[in-house]
Structure 1
């Protein structure tokens, strides 16, 4: 889905035009692009100027975002690049972002990672599986979600975890701009691009564990794991390990580099990907967790 920055008023006009029936049609004053004269006036010049165009008028205020809550269980998940993050308190942050129209674009989940200098907030959006054939108008709506933290924010900056986010953290509570993040990738792919499917390729070199972002159940025996990864052949999904415990099912992902191309040079791009894992036991009431996640 394209990220389109649209004003709230334009979005509302588009939605009214798309949703109205035959009895709700609003005819244009002039199909050729002209402006009709108002009743009682000689021409369009007699009409009062808009508030935005009047000398001395204030700059139009930023549109008020629609407050939304995550609805886990969406399909075709993708990371969302947010616009700004405002700390409401030490443990509450308001994250503002642009999203599409439900049920085609629904906020699925919010993931928070706590670091020494940053608190990274990642948003994930998808489509409602209950309405797979829904057709939505392609407009952008300004939305916001309140995120409850489990740690005090303190002096840490708020960073966007989407792969296409700007390479600097941000917060709008009066803190100074921290500047570029030192560990940010040199380049990133679009954050609103759908996840790509990857199949494990055992036998990679320099194998190491990687963390994953979230999961969704495709059926009772298949789980789809979403994660960030680099570009092949420098970063290749090697294997998936599943540990069945009494209360949880732990899933670990391992990545490596292609041993057949030891001298390969790859661009520093982050990709949002997924892999489907066939489970040998039913999930039942157990939670599926990242075996590498420590927070």
Structure 2
């Protein structure tokens, strides 16, 4: 596991956002701007690797983002909240975001979802599995990735698909706020953080459904669901519900807050977590989908 060396007291965390409805078309950005999302069954093409310079040694000029390309196959994948998106042409968007230094933090993939009113772009980062013992300084770098669209943007808004992304990240018709990047990147990313195993604790208060990011088959009857969660006791995994259909298996994840600690104060942090779900039926050829994103 990678180790992070703190610098300048920068604190990194993740934030969340909404996804489109069932009528949206989901595609992977082409190799010029991104790759498929890290969901079950999707494939992605490798992008050119970046320089092998010492991690954190080639910081771009302040205010100027470092242009990066996705490198599929990273470990410990997590969504990244981006800062702004700018339309370069009807089918090309420049997405600017804060990320850590390589190889501890590498852009893995880009997911694009096309809706009637929005084009939702989601970024995913991870750590280089070829350098598991790398030591990186814990700083946030301004980065950008060019995303080629398969449809004209038109008058649609560009929305951030990261779970819990600030709605202000959306831009109308690809015309992003021309202002300068925020002075404090802290809070946009969490650095090299592995997924935390969680077990459902039924009986939480204020139970709500949350969307999950991806799944992994552990065996024919066990599926591992990855999702973003806050910290306990304010955010506690309550339950997981499974619906078996002929062509799909729908899985819904629910979390709430500990009723025994109603006045608890929790830091505004997010954890990349997972829970293992024992299925009553083998998946077979069926697709596993998020029931929170289906009718």
Aligned length: 235
Please name the residue that 2:281 is paired with.
281
For the residues of structure 2 that align with 1:66 and 1:100, how far apart are their CA atoms? 12
How big is the shift at 1:260?
A: 1.4
Q: How does 1:121-270 map to 2 (within 5 A)?
A: 121-126=121-126, 138=136, 144=145, 146=147, 148=149, 152=153, 154=155, 156-159=157-160, 161=162, 168-169=168-169, 174-176=175-177, 188=187, 190-194=189-193, 195-270=195-270
Contact 2:238 2:256 in 1 (8 A): yes
Q: How does 1:15-26 map to 2 (within 5 A)?
A: none
- Would you tell me which structure has more strand in proportion to its own residues? 2
- Would you tell me which structure has more helix in proportion to its own residues? 1
For the residues of structure 2 that align with 1:79 and 1:190, how far apart are their CA atoms? 9
Evaluate the alpha carbon distance shift between residue 167 and residue 190 of structure 1 in structure 2; reply closer, same or farther with a 3 A threshold.
Answer: farther
How big is the shift at 1:61?
A: 12
How big is the shift at 1:202?
A: 0.9
How big is the shift at 1:267?
A: 3.8
Deviation string for 1:111-135 (max 9, x for gaps)?
4578999755332233577x6x866
Q: What SS does the aligned partner of 2:292 have?
A: coil
When the two structures are superposed, what TM-score results if normalisation uses the length of structure 2? 0.58
Evaluate the alpha carbon distance shift between residue 13 and residue 238 of structure 1 in structure 2; reply closer, same or farther with a 3 A threshold.
Answer: closer
Contact 1:78 1:191 in 2 (8 A): no
Q: How does 1:67-78 map to 2 (within 5 A)?
A: 67-68=69-70, 71=72, 75-78=75-78
How big is the shift at 1:289?
A: 0.7
Evaluate the alpha carbon distance shift between residue 156 and residue 74 of structure 1 in structure 2; reply closer, same or farther with a 3 A threshold.
Answer: same
Please name the residue that 2:41 is paired with.
none
Evaluate the alpha carbon distance shift between residue 243 and residue 91 of structure 1 in structure 2; reply closer, same or farther with a 3 A threshold.
Answer: farther
Evaluate the alpha carbon distance shift between residue 66 and residue 265 of structure 1 in structure 2; reply closer, same or farther with a 3 A threshold.
Answer: closer
RMSD: 4.6
Q: What SS does the aligned partner of 1:217 have?
A: strand
Deviation string for 1:224-253 (max 9, x for gaps)?
222222332222110111112221111101
Contact 1:91 1:153 in 2 (8 A): no
For the residues of structure 1 that align with 2:251 and 2:190, how far apart are their CA atoms? 24
How big is the shift at 1:106?
A: 5.9
Contact 1:120 1:161 in 2 (8 A): no
Q: What SS does the aligned partner of 2:246 have?
A: coil
Contact 1:100 1:141 in 2 (8 A): no
For the residues of structure 1 that align with 2:126 and 2:62, how far apart are their CA atoms? 32
Contact 2:209 2:252 in 1 (8 A): yes
Unaligned runs of 5+ in 2: 8-49, 56-60, 181-185
Contact 2:65 2:144 in 1 (8 A): no
How big is the shift at 1:170?
A: 6.5
Structure with max Cα Rg: 1
When the two structures are superposed, what TM-score results if normalisation uses the length of structure 1? 0.58
Greater Cα offset, 113-122 or 249-258: 113-122
Contact 1:228 1:272 in 2 (8 A): yes
For the residues of structure 2 that align with 1:109 and 1:189, how far apart are their CA atoms? 17
For the residues of structure 1 that align with 2:101 and 2:264, how far apart are their CA atoms? 39
How big is the shift at 1:173?
A: 5.7
